Structure 1
Amino acid sequence: MSENYTYILKCGDGSLYTGWTNHLEERVAAHQSGHGAKYTRGRGPVELVYYETFGTKEEAMGREYAIKRMSRKDKLRLIASGKGLS
């Protein structure tokens, strides 16, 4: 079983981007090089500030959706909790 991740990036302009992947390091590198999501292109450099690990793609996608619906204040609180990065 592969691991799946929901992650939050802080972009160079201070905005936050939330996504999911099953190859976290490679996906962050893709965002960093401008080959990630359209949103992060031109907003680099990006910094991985939070992630969670899940057993299934569906769980990771569901969490991504939930985080995207959060206010910026709640996302910052989640990031500050430090639970995601280890």
Structure 2
Amino acid sequence: MFYTYVIYSISRDRYYVGSTSNLQERLLKHNTNHKGFTGNTNDWKIVYSEEFAAKEGALAREKQIKSWKSRKMIEKLFC
């Protein structure tokens, strides 16, 4: 299975959209100190996820959500 997910950081008050084949492992990676957008904080929580049978579906959905460029649209997914 593949997943498209949205994570949220309280300290940064920001969302991040991504896709993966292992949701829990990916969240652990986001919460480690590494270079990149999510690396500076360790309070990322999954607020939304969708499951797909194929990687292509998860990547297409990730691209669609990122194209919105709107916090309000992203929040409509789970609020």
Shared fold by TM > 0.5?
Answer: yes
Match runs of 1:27-38 below 5 Å:
27-35=26-34, 38=36
Partner of 1:56: 54
Kindly tell me the number of residue pairs found equivalent between the two proteins. 77
RMSD of aligned residue pairs (Cα, Å): 1.3
Partner of 1:16: 15
**Identity of matched residues, %:** 35
Query: 8 Å contact 1:13–1:44 — kept in the other structure?
Result: no
Q: For structure 1, which runs of at least 5 residues remain unmatched after alignment? A: 81-86
User: If the length of structure 2 is used for normalisation, what is the TM-score?
Assistant: 0.89
Letter in 1 for 2:78: I
